[in-house]
Amino acid sequence: SKKGSLLYLSGLPKKLNENDKKLVEIFARNVQIAFDNVLLTKELEDTQREIIERLGQAMEQQNEHGRHILRMVKISQLLAKELGLSQQEVDTLGLSVPLHDIGKIKIPDAVIFKKEQLSTDDIQLIRRHADFGYNLLKDSKRPLIKAAAIIARDHHEFWDGRGYPRGKSGESIHIYCRITALVDAYDVMRHKHSYKNAWTTEQSMEVVLQQKGKQFDPHLVDIFQENIRKIEEIITSYPDFE
């Protein structure tokens, strides 16, 4: 092969007639075509993954969160594994999370970065980012982008139904969204932003426990608390940029 792949066949007789040689050549060519197709598929998947990651990073830089999205991916996948989700679901969640706030590209920076108290109109506009993100992604036929669309729309829904945009509750909220909601909130609490200082692990967990069964899935909160040491290791490993 021009690409440097090697096909090794064992068990062939020492002498091959012309017909056998032709059959082996046809088989080898077909194997090479199949191998090339596998490489092409992986290249497309890697390209899709990198585009999503880079888009998430671009939004991260715009919103001054440093490595917020990277930490969200790592912690979300940790929780998904602990919940017993399949490896495919874990991978899908990790690739979808970077797009959770994609709808904010339609919110003016003047509102996103406003330092004074937000008006009622500002709050309503910011809340629309959930539907904005969903509408940007919903028409895709790709399972990954479909998952990202649901996360974009429903990661502000509350377990008790007090969230937005649709007031969903309990298990009617997709598990991807429940995981994203908890991880997003915790990581924001644990880090400094223009409007707040970083909170300690204890302060942040106190809020999470207060919101157990309210904002957050109670079973997920239990899993989160059981794995807090690993979660904090991720947070320590990926600090924000100075």
Catalytic residues: 104
Cα 139 off chain centre by: 19
Token pair in block for residue 105: 């590209």
Token pair in block for residue 152: 């974009």
Q: Is 4 exposed, middle or buried (CB count within 10 Å of its CB: 0-12, 13-18, 19+)?
A: exposed
Span between the terminal Cα atoms of the chain, in Å: 49
- Residue 64, amino acid: E
Residue 232 burial (CB count, 10 A): 15
Place of tokens 């109670």: 218
Q: How far, in Å, CA of 148 to CA of 153, rounded?
A: 9
Token pair in block for residue 205: 């967990």
Q: How far, in Å, CA of 134 to CA of 146, rounded?
A: 9
Q: How far, in Å, CA of 242 to CA of 227, rounded?
A: 27
- Residue 233, amino acid: E
Token pair in block for residue 177: 């969204």
